[in-house]
Amino acid sequence: MNTPNFSELGLSEPVLRALDDCGYTQPTPIQQAAIPIIMDGDDLIASAQTGTGKTAAFTLPLIDDIATRPAGKGDTPLVLILTPTRELALQIDENVKAYGKYTGIRTCVVLGGVPSGPQIDLLRRGVDIVIATPGRLIDLVEQGEMVLDDVEFLILDEADRMLDMGFSPDVRWIADRVPTPRQTLLFSATISSGIKSLASTVQTEARTVSVAPPASVADNIDQQVMFVRKADKIDLLINLLNRKKGGRFLVFTGTKIGAIQVARQLQNHGIKASAIHSNKSQVQRQQALAAFSKGKVRVLVATDIMARGIDVEDISHVVNYDLPNDAENYIHRIGRTARAGRAGVALSLCGIEDIPQLRGVERLVARSLDVQDDHRWHSTRVAACLTASTKAARSRARSGKARGSGSKWRR
């Protein structure tokens, strides 16, 4: 089956340009499934987890819709996105700003725990999209600062978490005040009876889509970790590349500057390497990818955002030069090796600053990575820090259980 690209999905030029800047080359499955439904104007229940690209799935068509309206923009919001947590609200806002950067779209994040003054000022100046946690939104509606009269799109993101956190009455209160007819989109990792009951009261004839959770780790990937001081990482990597004569290496750094620097240092040591990052044009990126897949370049250094479009066969090693902040990205990264049933190595270079991320990764993959300490840059100090941090976490978990506190949100 042919995968549509973003322009075939009908998105307009300013949005396509922004997606190109983000380095997105192809829509993810949830985007392929949800965007046409949203563009048709239908209500939607989407079962999709974080990491599937769900945020772009609902924000892209809405940004597109607002940006292409001939009548121009009013002052009160057209889109209301409800989320369970402040972190998620801020992340969505960041995404909307990135996707809407050529459209002049105006956003406002409404969340508790911070003074409401700046949020009220922003709302008074006029916004198109509000991203909110339920509690503060209700306060502002009650104070008359948040006007819901013109909202045409209501989005409930991570609806299952909102229900778990006890927000069901708040969500219903808000939905009752968003005028109909409207388009209501509900995204949730799981579709429980609670979600179905919520959907039946806030939606009309919703269409449903469901995508698989992000890929789990294939068995044929050998997951290793090396403890090493940050300053020694480059020497360790060069040594590794010199010892292993063959093989195609994909190296991940946390930042694009990091990617440029690592590629440059490898080149200085006679290793054929190049970096792909968002400062390069689409053509330059494609050239770098082509050189890598033809074997003209042995090492490709990339950031997470650039990696989504990399579909190169025969990557023997994925090296996490920096561990990813989001553990899900570890799975995306290492899934680039061991394609088509072949074996592959995923090697993480862990410094002290990477320890929290390593713990997150180990939690996610539910195992400890194999420690490779047979090299001259092995840092016992980093290894000891990991042990200490794991012990501390275990004891925190034990004392939490002993007091029976658990999460205050869990029922």
Give the binding site for ligand AMP (CB under 6 A): 24, 26-28, 31, 50-56, 308
CB of 9 to ligand AMP, least distance (A): 11
Nearer to ligand AMP, 51 or 194 (CB): 51
| CB of residue 294 to ligand AMP, shortest distance in Å | 23
Q: Which is nearer to ligand AMP, 199 or 331 (CB)?
A: 331
What CA–CA distance (Å, rounded) separates 55 from 96? 9
Question: What is the closest distance, in whole angstroms, from the C-beta atom of residue 308 to ligand AMP in the complex?
Answer: 3
Segments of 254-387 assigned E as strands: 273-276, 299-302, 317-320, 344-350, 370-371
Rounded to the nearest whole angstrom, what is the least distance from the CB of residue 225 to ligand AMP in the complex? 23
CA dihedral 313, 319, 320, 321 (to 10 degrees): -130
Residue 253 · residue 320 · CB < 8 Å: no
Q: Least CB distance from residue 172 to ligand AMP, whole Å? A: 25
Cβ(105)–Cβ(96) under 8 Å?
yes
In angstroms, the CA 346 to CA 368 distance is 13
What 3-state class would DSSP assign to 163? helix
Contact 296, 307 (CB under 8 A): no
- Between 48 and 228, CB nearer to ligand AMP: 48
Query: Cβ closer to ligand AMP: 31 or 183?
Result: 31
HSE (CB half, 13 Å, CA atoms) of 269? Answer: 17
Cα-based angle 329, 213, 208 (whole degrees, multiple of 5): 135
Residues in a beta bridge with 210: 47
Question: Measured from the CB of residue 217, what is the shortest distance to ligand AMP in angstroms?
Answer: 17
Q: Are 342 and 314 in contact (CB under 8 A)?
A: yes
Quote the least distance from Cβ 318 to ligand AMP, whole Å. 17
The residue written with tokens 């698989």 in the block is 212
If the CB atoms of residues 63 and 241 are measured against ligand AMP, the closer one turns out to be: 63
- Compute the least distance from the CB of residue 96 to ligand AMP, in Å: 11
Cβ-based nearer residue to ligand AMP, 134 or 214: 214
Question: In whole angstroms, how close is the CB of 151 to ligand AMP at the nearest point?
Answer: 22
115: Cβ contacts below 8 Å, ≥ 6 apart:
none
Report how far apart, in Å, the C-alpha atoms of 64 and of each of 18, 26, 143, 334 are: 11, 17, 31, 33
H or E element, residue 128: none
Give the residue with the Cβ less far from ligand AMP, 286 or 316. Answer: 286
C-beta of 75 vs 311, nearer to ligand AMP: 311
Tokens of 102: 């050529």
Which among 103, 114, 111 has a CA at the least distance from the CA of 146?
111
Please give the sequence-ordered ranges of beta strands (E in DSSP) within 240-374, or none if there are none: 249-252, 273-276, 299-302, 317-320, 344-350, 370-371
